[in-house]
Structure 1
Amino acid sequence: MPSFSDFLLQPATRGALANMKITEPTPIQAEAIPALLAGNDLVGQSATGSGKTLAYAIPLVERLAKDKRIAQALVLVPTRELAVQVNAVLSKLATARRLSTALLVGGRPYGNQLSALRYGSQIVVGTPGRVKDHLDRGSLALNQLRICVLDEADQMLDSGFAPAIEEILAITPDTRQMAL
């Protein structure tokens, strides 16, 4: 089984993992991280609690440009609760790399979301409905997007989010990396 040092991660990322008490990659992480670091698209499936979030979060923060204050990564999730959890994990890694996140979900103050987007958060985590709302209002641009993650894609499709997801993906660059 590989270790995180085998992935040649930035010192800040390794430090954030140590602070999170994450010492060895899980099987899904050992498979996904090298593929995503190489810029490949990926379809992964693993049980709840297997470390899927870190499997895409680690390469995501490694591949973003911290000096570009614009949305470079989008993580779509089916529920507000999952968005909050994913954002918490990503925030720990992002802060260590001097990146920022924006959490776009219903039930949260819209003004805070606008502030995060105006600040130039490089990572956007949200539900399809709220992300589409920000796109429609012009408060979010995805023309510089490098990475798109559909977390729990099957649940999003089962929940009727397919039209919103299709509209969102249609305006992202064809060159973007996909993970689901």
Structure 2
Amino acid sequence: MQQKTFYDLGLSKQVLQGIEMMGYVIPSPIQEKAIPVLLEGHDIIGQAQTGTGKTLAFGSVLLSCIEKHNKDVQALILSPTRELALQIDEELRRIGKYTNLSIVSVYGGSEIEKQIRTLKKVQISWLEHQDVF
């Protein structure tokens, strides 16, 4: 059986460019299983060890499905810590490098007025929320 590549999973051309730029060709098991199901619009719960590509799995689908011409916030990701929010932000910016989507992270310790202004101009937002888990 031939091993699947990211090109076999149905992601957008721009997201595939970002993934290729990151040096990935073969999806990890969590990515191979999750991406097609998420692209069909189903909810999933996935569990895998740190470093296996969970953020790329959900982020690549999210970035592939955002309506580029709709300037409203279309996705909201909750993170239990600022550190994880910043990691997610960095990863999705790399995956979405060629999508021309607006992304912002909102977290404590940063000027709230500036964050509110920025939120009015983005399509994807992260919120640090310590009460999520």
TM-score (norm 1): 0.68
1:86 to 85, 88, 94: 88
Aligned to 2:31: 29
Identity, in percent, stands at 35
**Residue in 2 aligned with 1:16?**
18
Q: C-alpha separation between the residues in 2 aligned to 1:43 and 1:8?
A: 20
* Cα separation, partners in 2 of 1:88 and 1:112, compared to 1, 3 Å: farther
Structure 2 counterpart of 1:96: 98
2:71 aligned residue (69, 72, 79): 69
1:45-72: per-residue Cα shift (whole Å, max 9, x none)? 1111111100100000011101111111
Q: Scaled by the length of structure 2, what TM-score is found?
A: 0.90
1:100-144 residue CA offsets vs partner (Å, 9 max, x unmatched)? 11101101222331232121x111111126xxxxxxxxxxxxxxx
Please tell me the root mean square deviation across aligned C-alpha atoms, in Å.
1.6
Paired residue total: 131
Contact 2:102 2:124 in 1 (8 A): yes
What are structure 1's unaligned runs of at least 5 residues? 130-154, 158-180
Higher relative CO (Cα under 8 Å, sequence separation at least 6) belongs to 2
From 45, 54, 59, the counterpart of 1:43: 45
The answer (yes or no) to whether the contact 1:102–1:116 under 8 Å persists in 2 is yes
SS in 2 for 1:40: coil
Say which of 117, 120, 125 aligns to 2:119: 117
Question: Could you list the runs of 5+ residues in structure 2 that have no partner in the other structure?
Answer: none
Q: Please list every run of at least 4 consecutive aligned residues from structure 1 whose deviation after the TM superposition is greater than 6 angstroms.
A: none
